[in-house]
A and B are shown apart, each in its own frame.
Chain A
Amino acid sequence: MKNRPVTGSRVSDEAASWSMRLDAGNLSSSEQEQLAKWLTESPDHVEELLIMNALWSTLDNIGQDISLPNLESTDVVHLDSIKATDIGNTSRFFPNMNIFKKLSIAATFTIGIAIVLLSTVTNNKNYHIESYATETGEQRNIVLGDGSTILLNTQSYLEVAYDENVRRVNIIEGEALFSVVQDENRPFRVGAGVAVFEAIGTQFNVNRKHKDVTMTVIEGVVSVSSQPQTTSDYARGEGSDDRQMPTNVPKTEVVVSAGQASLVKSDGTLAYLKEADIYQTIAWKERVLVFRDATLGYIAEEFNRYNETKIVITDKELAQTRLTAVLHAHRLDALFETLQTATHIHIDKVGEYKVFLRNVTNPKGV
C-alpha cells in the first residue's frame, strides 16, 4: 500500500489534466515548459503522469461494442456490452501469439478462465437523464419541465431525471439552488453522495464539496436522509452508489425547515443546524462571497472555484489565519487589498494564473 494518498489529490488532478493535454497534441512551447517544470517539481508528478498515461493507453483496447452513452433519448448509458463474444477479440491483446505457442496448455487455459470471469453482466436502469455542467466562474439557470428551476453555481455538475412518479436530481459535484414547483404526486428528490433530500415544493440550496453535503432551506420544508454504504458495496470496492439517481424512497431522518440547515458527511453521519445564515448561503447568486471568521485556506479555495487564477498558500500557519470579509467572487484585487492590511502576508503573482500568498516572517513556507 502507498503511504500517501495520491488518487483524488491535487497531483492526480494535474496529472490527469496533463495527460489529456498531451492526448490533444500540439502543446505550445509555453505549455511544454510548464509541463517540464511540473515534472521536475517532484517524483510524485513523474509517477502519477506515467500511471495516468498508462491507464489512458489501456483504454486503447476499449471494446468496439462499447456503446456511446445515450445523451438524448430515454435510455440511459448502455455501456455493458462485455459479452462472451469478446473472446473473439482477444487477438488484439496478444499480438505476438506465436510466442505463446511456446507456453504450456495450462497457461493458455488460465487466459480462458480469466476472460470468462471477466464477462460479468450488470444491470441497467432506464431513465431519461439530462446533464448540466458549469465551467469555472460560470453560473447557469436551468428551467425544468415542470417549471422548477435550478441555479447551478461554478464548477458544478448535476443530472436530472424526471418520470411520472418522481422528479430526481443527482449532484455529482458543486452547488445548486433549487426552487421547486409544488407537485404533491411527484416528490422532488435530490441525491448528493450518501445524502438524499426530498421536497414537495420549496426553495433550498445544496452544496456538495469534498465529502460533505450541506443543505440549507430558504423556504418550506425538506426532509433529509442518508444512505450509508453497504458492506457489499465496500466488498466490491465500488464505494457507494454515487453515480446513480436516488431511487429508493428515502427513510426520513430529519425534517429541516426554512432558516435551518443540515450537514451529511460521507459516512452517512447527519448533523442539523437550527439557525443557518441564509444570506451567507445564497449570496453566491450575486457572486458575493461571505466569510465570517473563515480561514485563509478556505477563502483561497472558494475564490479558486470561481476564477482561473489560482491562489496558492503553502505555509500552513498562514492558511490558518482567520478573516471576516464580504467580497465579490471575481474581485481578486479586492481580496488582495484586504490582505495587504495584514503586514505578514506577501502577495506574489507568478505568471498569469497563479498567485502565491507567502508568510513574510516565514517566506519559504513550512
Chain B
Amino acid sequence: MEEPSIEPNATVLEDQYDKVYGFVLRRVRNASDAQDLAQEAYSRLLGMETRQFIKQPAAYLYRIASNLTYEYARNKHRTVSLQEFEDIENIDILSSTGTEEALDDQVYNIRLLKHLEKSLKSMPKMYAAVVVLRKRDGMSHNEIAERLDISTHTVHKYLTRAMKICREASEKFK
C-alpha cells in the first residue's frame, strides 16, 4: 500500500472527519475492536518518519486512522456486499460500508448525539455553555472567552472538563 502523504488539504480533511470518526465510534461499541484499531494505528505511527511526525502529529494520526478505515471498508466489501449490490462501485466506499452497517452507524450516531446533549444538560452550566457556543454558534475559543468574560485558558479548561464528562457518558452509553 502507498505511504500516506501528508500536507493534508484542510477542506478535504474536514469532509473526511465524519467518516473516520464514525468508524472509530463504531469500534468503540466493540471495545476490543477499538483496541485493535488503536494498536494498529500506534504501530504505524511509530513507523513514521519522526521529523515529519513531530511537526504535525494530529494530521498524521488522522491520516493513519483514515487509511485503516479505508482498508477496513475495502475488505468488508470484498467479503460481504458485492453480490448484493451490483452497482456498488458507484457508492462512496466509506460512507456505505455494507449499507446496513452504515445505517446502523448513523442511527447510533444520532442516539449518541442525543445522549451527549443530555449529558450537556446535567453538567455544570459553564462547561455546557462553552460547548454550545463553540459547536452551535461556531465561536472561536477567543470569542467565547470574550463573550463569557473569562480567560482563553479557562475556556480550554471548561471544554476539557466538558469532554471528560461526555467521554464518561459515552462509556455508559455503548
Is the Cβ of A77 less than 8 Å from the Cβ of B167?
no
Mask of A91-133 contacts with B, CB within 8 angstroms, 1/0: 0011010011011000100110011001010100000010101
Instruction: Name which residue of chain B comes closest to A3, CB basis.
Output: B31
**A96-B96 CB under 8 A given contacts A53-B21, A66-B120, A69-B129:** yes
Interface status of A342 (Cβ within 8 A of chain B): no
B168 cross-chain contacts in A, Cβ below 8 A: 7-8
| A and B contact pairs by CB, cutoff 8 A, 19 listed | A20-B160, A23-B134, A35-B58, A36-B54, A39-B57, A43-B35, A50-B21, A50-B65, A59-B116, A59-B131, A61-B113, A66-B132, A77-B125, A90-B110, A93-B109, A102-B85, A103-B99, A107-B100, A243-B124
Which of A55, A70, A243 has a CB less than 8 Å from the CB of B170? A55
Listed residue (B92, B106, B148) with the most chain A CB atoms within 10 angstroms of its CB = B106
**A135-B153 CB under 8 A given contacts A16-B167, A59-B135:** yes
Is the Cβ of B129 less than 8 Å from the Cβ of A68?
yes
For the complex, what is the distance from the CA of A82 to the CA of B173, rounded to whole Å?
18
Interface status of A157 (Cβ within 8 A of chain B): yes
Instruction: Kindly list 17 other residue pairs between chains A and B, CB separation below 8 angstroms, not including A47-B35, A110-B103.
Output: A16-B161, A24-B141, A32-B56, A50-B21, A50-B37, A57-B18, A62-B136, A66-B117, A67-B132, A70-B125, A77-B121, A111-B103, A114-B110, A120-B114, A131-B124, A131-B126, A243-B124
Interface status of B45 (Cβ within 8 A of chain A): yes
B141 cross-chain contacts in A, Cβ below 8 A: 23-24
**A43-B38 CB under 8 A given contacts A7-B168, A55-B163, A55-B167:** yes
Interface status of A343 (Cβ within 8 A of chain B): no
Min CB–CB distance A99 → chain B (angstroms): 5
Min CB–CB distance A247 → chain B (angstroms): 14
Is the Cβ of A111 less than 8 Å from the Cβ of B116?
no
A residues contacting B by CB (< 8 A) are 1-2, 6-8, 12-13, 15-17, 19-24, 27, 29, 32-33, 35-37, 39-40, 42-44, 46-47, 49-64, 66-71, 76-77, 79-80, 82, 90, 93-94, 96, 99-100, 102-103, 107, 110-111, 114-115, 118, 120, 122, 129, 131, 133, 135, 157, 159, 172, 237-239, 242-244
Interface status of B164 (Cβ within 8 A of chain A): yes
B110 cross-chain contacts in A, Cβ below 8 A: 90, 93, 114-115, 118
Instruction: Name which residue of chain B comes closest to A236, CB basis.
Output: B172
Listed residue (A6, A99, A107) with the most chain B CB atoms within 10 angstroms of its CB = A99
Is the Cβ of B57 less than 8 Å from the Cβ of A36?
yes
Instruction: Name which residue of chain A comes closest to B22, CB basis.
Output: A54
A46 cross-chain contacts in B, Cβ below 8 A: 38, 41-42, 45, 61
Is the Cβ of A55 less than 8 Å from the Cβ of B91?
no
For the complex, what is the distance from the CA of A52 to the CA of B38, rounded to whole Å?
13
Instruction: Name which residue of chain B comes closest to A39, CB basis.
Output: B57
Instruction: Name which residue of chain A comes closest to B152, CB basis.
Output: A24
Is the Cβ of B42 less than 8 Å from the Cβ of A43?
yes
B24 cross-chain contacts in A, Cβ below 8 A: 50-51, 53-54
For the complex, what is the distance from the CA of A39 to the CA of B117, rounded to whole Å?
29
Instruction: Name which residue of chain B comes closest to A50, CB basis.
Output: B24
For the complex, what is the distance from the CA of A27 to the CA of B172, rounded to whole Å?
32
A114 cross-chain contacts in B, Cβ below 8 A: 107, 110-111
Instruction: Name which residue of chain B comes closest to A108, CB basis.
Output: B103
